[in-house]
């Protein structure tokens, strides 16, 4: 769970747009900017301690992610981060990621499997250490390595935009304890299916993995709202 927001969120120099983008994304998910609220350039400059160009570039990137809607001559507004939005993000992942896993399992090598086992070991070590940031990073690295077995750069780019939002949601809400244990079991099963070159089984495991992740986030969102 992230800490309480302060009155301002000054960006450490250099103020590259990516840092501004991440800070605005955090504030949107945290609820500092309410659903449908307008994002005024001058106010954003003051809050984040930067000039207008990185703010504009950050808003353009957040529009790609789906968090911000830009209107010509009317500025930007925040899109509602509600259950419908999050579910639709995961619907896309359910349609795409299992097929990436199927492709990977069809051609995986011994070296690929060895790398996945090593990355999974790091993930489990991060869980034992109770390090949320390391858990998030190791989870991401595990899945990226799977996709890299037989990559599709455009798919990876698109998923990367969504991944930034999901990681921010996880930074805010965390995981239910039972979900972490479930992830470990699902990752292990996925690696063994890839090792066996059982592409259909690997695809099924990945689909279930994403469905369980969505259910976990929605439960946490509902709990926080209640």
Instruction: Point out the domain boundary residue: 38, 55, 78.
Output: 78
- Strand 68-71 versus strand 38-39 pairing type: unpaired
Over residues 186-206, the pLDDT tens digits come to 999 999 999 999 999 999 999
Q: Does some domain include residue 173? A: yes
pLDDT mean over 8-25 = 67
Tell whether the model's pLDDT for residue 147 goes beyond 60: yes
Q: Is there a single domain that holds both residue 162 and residue 99?
A: yes
CATH number, residue 53: 1.10.10.10
Q: Is there a single domain that holds both residue 107 and residue 219?
A: yes
Reported pTM: 0.81
pLDDT value for 29: 87
Q: Is there a single domain that holds both residue 65 and residue 173?
A: no
Q: Is there a single domain that holds both residue 95 and residue 31?
A: no
Tell whether the model's pLDDT for residue 45 goes beyond 70: yes
What confidence category does residue 4 fall into, taking pLDDT thresholds of 50, 70 and 90? very low
Containing structural domain, residue 108: 83-225
How many distinct structural domains can be found in the chain? 2
- Per residue, the 3-state secondary structure of the chain, as one string, reads CCCCCCCCCCCCCCCCHHHHHHHHHHHHHHCCCCCCCEECHHHHHHHHCCCHHHHHHHHHHHHHHCCEEEECCCEEEECCCCHHHHHHHHHHHHHHHHHHHHHHHHHCCHHHHHHHHHHHHHHHHHHHHCCHHHHHHHHHHHHHHHHHHCCCHHHHHHHHHHHHHHHHHHHHHCCCHHHHHHHHHHHHHHHHHHHCCCHHHHHHHHHHHHHHHHHHHHHHHHHHHC
Cα dihedral sign, 14-154-108-138: positive
């Amino acid at each position: 769970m992230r800490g309480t927001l302060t009155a301002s969120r000054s960006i450490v120099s250099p103020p590259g747009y990516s840092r501004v983008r991440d800070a605005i994304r955090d504030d949107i998910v945290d609820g500092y900017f309410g659903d449908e609220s307008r994002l005024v350039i001058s106010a954003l400059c003051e809050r984040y301690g930067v000039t207008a160009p990185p703010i504009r570039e950050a808003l353009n990137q957040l529009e790609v992610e789906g968090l911000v809607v830009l209107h010509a001559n009317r500025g930007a507004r925040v899109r509602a981060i509600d259950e419908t939005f999050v579910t639709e993000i995961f619907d896309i992942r359910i349609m795409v990621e299992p097929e990436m896993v199927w492709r990977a399992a069809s051609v995986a090598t011994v070296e690929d499997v060895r790398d996945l086992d090593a990355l999974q070991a790091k993930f489990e070590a991060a869980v034992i250490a109770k390090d949320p940031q390391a858990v998030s990073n190791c989870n991401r690295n595990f899945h990226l390595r799977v996709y890299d077995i037989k990559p599709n750069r455009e798919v990876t780019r698109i998923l990367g935009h969504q991944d930034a939002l999901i990681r921010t949601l996880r930074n805010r809400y965390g995981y239910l304890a039972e979900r972490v244990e479930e992830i470990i079991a699902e990752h292990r099963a996925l690696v063994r299916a890839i090792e066996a070159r059982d592409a259909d089984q690997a695809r099924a495991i990945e689909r279930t993995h994403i469905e369980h992740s969505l259910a976990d986030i929605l439960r946490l969102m509902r709990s926080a709202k209640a």
